[in-house]
Each structure stands twice: as structure tokens, then as C-alpha cells.
Structure 1
Amino acid sequence: MISKKILEAFHLTGEGLALEGGQEQSRLFDKTVLKPVYDESYYNQIAEIFNQLENPAYRISKHLKANNGHYSFMGYGATMYEAGFEVDDRLKEKLLVSNAFHEALKEIATSLLPKTDDPWSRAHRLLWQGERLEATSDMAIFVNHLLNQLPIYDEALQIIHSDLSSNILFHETLAPLIIDFSPAVAPKSFADAVLICDSIAWGSQPLASLELLKSNINFKESVLYAVAFRVATIACFDKYDMNRLQKEWQAYQTIWDYVLE
């Protein structure tokens, strides 16, 4: 039950409607979506960045301020509700949205992206800062071996959205909608590779979808790093074991093998 203080802070009433997707913790109140926030300082800073990224090529679900002047209050944040539906396919269109979104993100200095320490950010440090897991478990040994096989990836870094596959929604008449900003500092081609690899691993899209990325000079590097990122992220969660890691690897292994053929 969400407290009355939180609802009042975002000018909301009622119990709200539970929304599907994500972590099943979001609730819709008329035109506002309310969801838990786990690092309020980080959330407030990325909300400020995200709200700057409006563009005719896509819509964004803008973050709303609470009555305390911040984007979060007592562990919750709110965004404007925008209509849209999720699809597994339409990958060419998703890549066009990614292009427009990352062109806008390119204008924002990477130094403005705040630091956090969740499993995804730890996985990014493994990829881009050369960190390695302490080899005290089978998971850590497996992931370190995978990371050590990665080639040099020579491409400019910028702020990216590292989880676009299921966070681009479509509409019959409106521009595509981008939700749930998951920023990182990485090459733009990596963001596209994560989008396509996730769509293959979990969205039932054919392996041949990788051909959509082949025009990029760093095709091989981007795909290998995308797979390594997803597998490494599992190892960065305390709650997961080797069985869960193997499930993730099995979902992405054919992609890894495809680019190494």
C-alpha cells in the first residue's frame, strides 16, 4: 500500500491500477505512473537528463516533480503516462528511434552522468573499465573468462540507453515512445547491439536480425560486448547462482557463436 504522503506529494488520489511489465511495481493514476526508486540521488539526476531529450522522432515519458521540488519522494518517482504498446519485432524502426535518441544524448557530456552501484553499472565497469570479478565462484570464473575473450573496441564513448529493446513502445498514430531510461557510458553501436541481441534472446526474433547491425564497422565487437554485458550482469547480482547464469548464457550463446564463425 502506497502511503498517503507519497500520493499527496505527486498530487495523486485513489489506489491506482497495477501495470504489467518491468518489475510489476508500477501503478497508474490517471495520467501519472508511480513506481519505486532505489537510489533517489541517482534517479533525480538522470530524470533531469532524460527530460531534456524530447525530439519529433520519438516521445518520452517525462519525469514529474513532487511537491518537494525533486523527482523523487520517500522512495517513489512519477512519470507522465503516454499511450503505447510493446512489440517484439519492428527492429528496423527501433534502430531508427535509437539513432535519433542517441544523437540527442551525444550532446550531453558524459561527466554529467551520475555514478551508481547497481548490478548493471557494475557490469558496465567490467566491460569498459577493465575490472574483473574476484574469482571465488564458478560464476566469477566463467564471466572473467568471457570478458578476457573480448576484442579491443575502438569507438567513441557517449551516454547511451542500455536497455532499449523492451523500452520502445509503439502507437497507431503517435511517434514511438521511449520509457525507463537506463543510461551508461559506452559506444552507441553497443546500445544497438544490446537492443538486437535482447530481441533475439528473449523476444523470439530470428538470429538473422544481427544482419541489421552489419553496416557498423564495429559489428563484431558490439555484439560480443552486448552478450558479455548481459551475462556479466547476472553474476553481479547476489541473489543469482550458476544455474541462473547458465540460463542467461544459453539464451545468448548462439549470438556469440554467430559472430565468431
Structure 2
Amino acid sequence: MLSKEILYSFNLSGDIVPLSGGQKTSVKVSNAVLKPVDDIQHSEWLLNIIYNIIPQGGYRVSKPIRSKYGTFVSNGWACTQYEVGKDVKGRIEEKLLVSKLFHRDLSFINFRNFPHTDNPWSKGHRIAWQIDKLPEELPRETQEIINKLLSRVSLKEQYKVQIVHSDLSGNILFDHVLSPLVIDFSPTIAPVEYAEAILVCDCIAWQGSNISGIDLLPDNELNKEMIIRAIIFRLSVSAIFSKGDYLKFCQEYQAFEAILEYIK
């Protein structure tokens, strides 16, 4: 629950207004947005990045607000400035441009001290990059589908990696006047091409974009690999959340299946 003490720690007062989108846990109070966080160390690290990043044009970010105690997280809640913007389905080309600009500015961030996390999304990334294996308790059919995809990729000796936003498709908000707004920073360490593949695949699978959106990514082996890894990531997260419900997992697989057929 969002207590008076938490509002006080961020110098806030006023009505608490629930916000739609994401995990539906964010609320607006005055000109700020508050969101509960699970991993305090990880949240402090990534919010510090957003706090210090200076957009060089073409996009906006919601700057974190420090608490009275100098931290970005207070009693399990983080706070950012409220910025106007609306979630819009599709618009892959525009979102890819924002991705390029945002990742250009992130490329200067030192990620050597990137904190380890252990949630379904971080596990999904590690499975997609063949660091972790699939949980053994998953249904055999689920494991067969994901392992078949894993057999289509192999790790190279060298990738150009940096910190990236791995969930951009629904986290770029648009406004008629202002530049697009990047929200809900979901960091991982990977090639920018991986983040862009996730963006495009999500728009096609979840937002009704045309399959030809794949053609907005350069037609080469690296991007084909990134597309497959992006789908492995999403399917691994789905498998973890479905908790043995193969039919539920299949619905997610079917959403991405057309992409796999398209890039064969």
C-alpha cells in the first residue's frame, strides 16, 4: 500500500490516481508517478542512469525524483516526474528511431557493475543468450519448442554489447507536440540489435503490426539471430509464468510463430 510516509518521503501530497499500462501498479500523485519495486539495489542502479542521462534530442525520459533520504527508492517505491504521452500500437519505424537515439546515449554508460537480478525477465534473457538452461520442471512440449529455437543460434566470439532497454514496444509514449517519451527502463546487457528485435517482434505479436515490419531490420545474419533470440526470450518468460500450463504457453508461441516462418 502507498502510505502517507512514502508520499512524505518524496515531498508529495494529493489524490492517488491509478495508471493503466505495464503491470498496472503505477499511480500518479500530483506531478509524479510512483511505482513499487522488488529489487532495491537494481532499481537504485538503473534510476541513477536515467537521472544522469542527457537526451541529445529526439526523445524524452521521465527523470527520477530523489527521496528526502537521498535515495531513489523509499519503502519499496520509486518516484519519477510525470510526463505527458500516450501508448500507441505499432508505429514500428518511429519506435525504432527512438530506440536508436536512446541507445546512442546509453552507449556511454559503464555497465561493468550491472547488478545481478533473478526475476522471470532476467532469467529469460539468460536463457536466450544460452547462459542459463530452461527450468527442468517445464512441460516437455514447452522445452522442445524452446530448445528447437536454441538449436538455431550459436554464440559468436564477439558481440558489441551495451546496456539496452529490452521492452520498448509498449514503453514509448507519443504526444502531438513533444518528442516521444521513453518509460519503464528494463535494462539488460546485449547488442542494440537484440533490443530492436524484441521491439519489432513485440509489435507484430502483441500489437497487430504487419509481419513486414521485420523488413525494417537490416537483412543479415546478425539480425536474424537477434530475432530468434528475442523470441526465445519472450517464450522463456511465458513458460516461466505459465507454470506448467502448456496451452497458455502455446498461445504465446502462436503469437510469435508467424515471425519464425517469415525469417526462414
User: TM-score, structure 2 length as denominator?
Assistant: 0.92
1:233 maps onto 2:237 in alignment: yes
- Kindly indicate whether residue 233 of structure 2 is the aligned counterpart of residue 220 of structure 1: no
**Could you tell me which residue of structure 2 aligns to residue 61 of structure 1?**
62
Distance 2:30 2:182 in 1: 19
After superposition, the Cα gap between the structure-2 partners of 1:20 and 1:149, relative to the gap in structure 1 and judged at 3 Å, is same
Residue 12 of structure 1 aligns to a residue whose secondary structure is: coil
Unaligned runs of 5+ in 2: none
Aligned position for 2:13: 13
Query: Which residue type is aligned with residue 79 of structure 2?
Result: A
Partner of 1:143: 146
Identity of aligned residues (%): 39
**Counterpart for residue 179 of structure 1:** 183
For the residue of structure 2 that corresponds to 1:237, the secondary structure is helix
Deviation of 1:231 after TM superposition, in Å, equals: 0.2
Measured at CA, do residues 16 and 134 of structure 1 come closer, stay the same or move farther in structure 2, by a change above 3 Å? closer
Q: Deviations over 1:139-186 (max 9, x none)?
A: 344433332332445531111100000111111111111000000011
| Equivalent-residue separation in structure 2 for 1:172 and 1:246 (angstroms) | 38
The corresponding residue for 2:127 is 126
Unaligned ranges ≥5, structure 1: none
Structure 2 partner of 1:48:
48
Question: Aligned AA for 1:38?
Answer: D
Bigger shift: 64-73 or 50-59?
50-59
Partner Cα separation in structure 2 for residue 240 and residue 33 of structure 1: 35
Preserved CA contact (<8 Å) 2:127 2:232: no
Separation (CA, whole Å) in 1 of partners of 2:192 and 2:220: 10
Name the TM-score, length of structure 1 as normaliser: 0.93
* TM-align CA RMSD: 1.7
Structure 1 position 26, deviation (Å): 1.0
Q: 1:66 to 1:156 in 2, by over 3 A?
A: same
Deviation at 1:92, TM superposition (A): 1.3
The residue number in structure 2 matching 1:257 is: 261
Question: Which amino acid in structure 1 is aligned with residue 8 of structure 2?
Answer: E
- AA at the equivalent of 1:22: G
Alpha-carbon distance in 2 for matches of 1:5, 1:240: 40
Q: What is the distance in 1 between the residues matched to 2:42 and 2:242?
A: 21
Partner residue in 2 for 1:29? 29
